[in-house]
Amino acid sequence: MQYFFKMPKATRNTPAKTKIYELLLSSELALSHAEIQQRLDFTCDRVTIYRVLDRLLESGQIHKIVNVDGVVKYACCKTCSPVHQHNHIHFSCERCKEVTCLNEVEPVYQIPKNYLVTDVSFTLLGVCPQCR
């Protein structure tokens, strides 16, 4: 009997999980829940999509971005596997509303006194190359 160590719950590979993960893997952009639902032609229940996204977040396969307009987007982080590391900048286009990971740009900041920094959320806002 194990009292102090809780086994991580086993997760299963299901068509929904595979399809959603592959969709995010192949997408250049971060996708919202609604966009994922559309691209799957509404073959998955909306609740299932939320739960699959939670599992993928939990396992570190994807990351979550809360855009400045409040829209939540999900993306596979290509450059930082296998250990997840979201220390990169996102770009949010105010015209097409698309959110992209700028993997090549690293954020620089001075750590303020007495604050303990564990993570960074850095989004540049403006107009993307396609919309200029």
Contacts of 83 (CB under 8 A, 6+ apart): 60
- Contact between 17 and 56 under an 8 Å Cβ cutoff? The reply is yes
H-helix or E-strand containing 74? strand 72-76
Question: Of 28-36, 77-85, 92-100, 111-119, which segment contacts DNA by CB under 7 A?
Answer: 28-36
Can residue 108 be called a binding residue for a second copy (CB under 8 A)?
yes
3-state secondary structure of 61: coil
Count the residues of the shown chain that bind a second copy, applying the rule CB under 8 A.
37
Near DNA by CB under 7 A, which window of 7-15, 23-31, 75-83, 84-92? 7-15
Residues lying near a second copy in the complex (CB under 8 A): 66-70, 72, 89, 91-92, 94, 102, 104-105, 107-129, 132
Binding residues vs DNA (CB under 7 A): 9-17, 32-34, 43-48, 50-52, 54-55, 70, 72
